[in-house]
Structure 1
């Protein structure tokens, strides 16, 4: 095996990178488990109080009921035994355990119900913001010194650090309350049945426009500035001067030469930013009452639903690390100059 890997450096690099990926994944999941389990509070007592308020709890059987719930939620024993039990259940049974948010529904079912909303809204918004920011930032850097490019750059500098939720509040106040053009809360009209009907799809688009805009606008400004920062130093390179001397069109020089050397760092940065799709826009989902993973995570933290909290957190960890693994394997294909295995 060692001789075969030595004769195939690309395969050797892929094997080493995948091994490092597994170690990183295990380490991040372990840190997340102990971090959340060390939060003060007793989720079982909170759950018991909820049952008492709903008159479905027998106080005479308190000890037996509490012991059963602790065992079912993986909270019996010391912290290390809880960790071993959790890892065994996740790895070998593919089970996150029951969710306190919707007991006895498994936590993975709660997460999977919220996941399409987050991916559909926040995922597409993040991709759209990246594409627009990359293209506009390249043009702003290419046409630096021109009035239009300077205006766009100054606006981006002023607004790039505005929080998503602050812009969401402004958009809601203007378009939902002042002009009454768009709804302020929820994901679709509650009177409609979810499906592929034109009415439901139009309602989905209408209700998702405000939260999507708040993410896209701020994201575009951030990607615009970083792309422009990468584009300006490239413009002084000799190969661009040579391309201009050959008589190539400016558009071809921009797209085939200048932009190609700028989008590689942005591809890597986009992979790192994927984690914010799950947990970076929590307040936006809370503000619009959008049924995504961000709102699910907040509700789970409020009642210390460890199974759901760890499920959402580990999903974000898995998404970020997997995206970076794929990007590390694809970058040599995008740019032949990248040779990690040498």
Structure 2
């Protein structure tokens, strides 16, 4: 049994490592084949602002291309980037914030995204599973029908559209929540109550943009799973024996729906992260989503690559952790 679990985990690790390398390579070639380059764009912007002469512009562009390695061939840049990334975990300098390393910009923004996104996903998933179990268990009641119908409508709303609606209503019309930032500019970072309350207030609307949609999506899938399990013979036998509802739900229904729900969570993480980038941009929240949008605007290749690699690593790691939990949820995996 131990060998089967070990073999399962090793296979998962190798698979995710392969996915990571392929995804990294694909994005590298995609972004480097896009017409234009960040150095030329940046110099042209400086020329418009400060009147830099055309001959001087060409010299500066060529020098900066040599510094960033943009004068080399595509495959040579790829091997150099891959070597630097694997050996030194170095994404290179930011083009716009030169000479500041891209990794520094990412590490400054990453904790905000991880904290907000991680908390939102966990809350939404747990609430969705609980609500879906109740709605599925009480599927014949009118309240369950109303909740289910409402959930169907809300779950189809794009997170960015809901974010815009929340901003319009609660920020501009009602003036209940701030627009932008992670905390009040009047406060210093500390563990004081005013600072914590300011963090919560600034994070509330971005978090609700994700939770409100995702909780109903999880509820719908959980309801379908519960109804499917309720039709099984062993559930009917347990009900005929007079098993308490609480034990029936906890021991049989939840246990048999958690594995597909965990799988659904793992598969949807990438889509959730992509949607969250737009949410951070809309709320001007200082996470990697806003940094990513700024990097796209400035064509900052190194920051774009760094954010993409970091995001892929986090999503794949989260998926891997969920897969590591599978043997604990499903005994069939433990038995091989």
Q: 1:17 aligns with which of 12, 23, 27?
A: 12
Question: Matched residues in 1 for 2:211 and 2:15: separation?
Answer: 33
**Relative to structure 1, is the Cα distance of residues 251 and 7 closer, same or farther in structure 2, using a 3 angstrom cutoff?**
closer
TM-score normalised by the chain length of structure 2: 0.93
Q: Secondary structure at the match of 1:183?
A: coil
| 5+ long unaligned stretches in structure 1 | 1-5
Deviations 1:269-302, CA, capped at 9 Å, x for gaps: 2123333454322221121111111111111011
- The aligned counterpart of 1:201 is 196
The correspondence for 1:288, drawn from 280, 283, 301, is 283
Asked whether the 8 Å contact 1:89–1:96 carries over to 2, the reply is: yes
Instruction: Select which of 216, 241, 255 maps to 1:221.
Output: 216
Aligned to 2:257: 262
- 1:121 shift after superposition: 1.4
What's the offset of the Cα at 1:62? 4.4
Query: Conserved in 1, the CA contact under 8 Å of 2:137 and 2:227?
Result: yes
CA distance in 2, matches of 1:274, 1:204: 24
From 149, 154, 162, give the equivalent of 2:157: 162
Distance 2:7 2:155 in 1: 41
> Counterpart in 2 of 1:84?
79
Identify the residue that residue 3 of structure 1 maps to in structure 2: none
Give the secondary-structure state (helix, strand or coil) at the position aligned to 2:91: coil
Q: Does 1:210 align with 2:200?
A: no
Q: What is the aligned counterpart of 1:183 among 178, 184, 187?
A: 178
Are 1:235 and 2:235 an aligned pair?
no
Report if aligned partners of 2:5, 2:333 keep a CA contact under 8 Å in 1: no
* Counterpart position of 2:295: 300
Query: What is the SS of the residue equivalent to 1:307?
Result: helix
CA contact (8 A) 1:272 1:323 kept: no
Equivalent residues in 2 for 1:1-342, closer than 5 Å: 8-52=3-47, 55=50, 62-338=57-333, 342=336
Contact between 1:137 and 1:227, CA under 8 Å: does it hold in 2?
A: yes
Distance 1:170 1:14, change over 3 A: closer
Contact 1:175 1:181 in 2 (8 A): yes
Count of aligned positions: 336
RMSD of aligned alpha carbons: 2.2
For structure 2, the 5+ residue unaligned runs are none
- Report the alpha carbon displacement of residue 195 of structure 1 after superposing the two structures with TM: 2.0
In structure 2, relative to structure 1, the CA distance for the partners of 1:241 and 1:102 (3 Å cut) is same
**C-alpha deviation, 1:20, in angstroms:** 2.2
**What SS does structure 1 have at the residue aligned with 2:182?**
coil
Match of 1:338, SS state, is helix
